[in-house]
Amino acid sequence: MKVSLLATILVVLFLAACDRPKQALPEQEKENFKELMSEQNKE
């Protein structure tokens, strides 16, 4: 009983930890890339 409870808690914590970093949307990545390229071209 204690082992399964511990395993359940670990799985919940693991899923919660993996869910936090949000992936940027491809549209945002394209805009960020264009901004970086334009800044580098100015220099």
Domain ranges for the chain, please list them.
Answer: 2-42
According to the model, what pLDDT value does residue 19 have? Answer: 63
According to the model, what pLDDT value does residue 16 have? Answer: 74
pLDDT tens sequence across 7-36: 998 888 887 776 655 565 677 778 878 887
Residue 4 binned pLDDT confidence (cut-offs 50, 70, 90): very high
- The C-alpha angle with vertex 29 and arms to 20 and 33, in degrees rounded to 5, equals 140
- Give just the sign of the alpha carbon dihedral 34, 36, 40, 43: positive
- Tell me the C-alpha to C-alpha distance, in Å, between residue 11 and each of 3, 6, 17, 23, 31: 12, 9, 10, 21, 36
Q: Does pTM surpass 0.75?
A: no
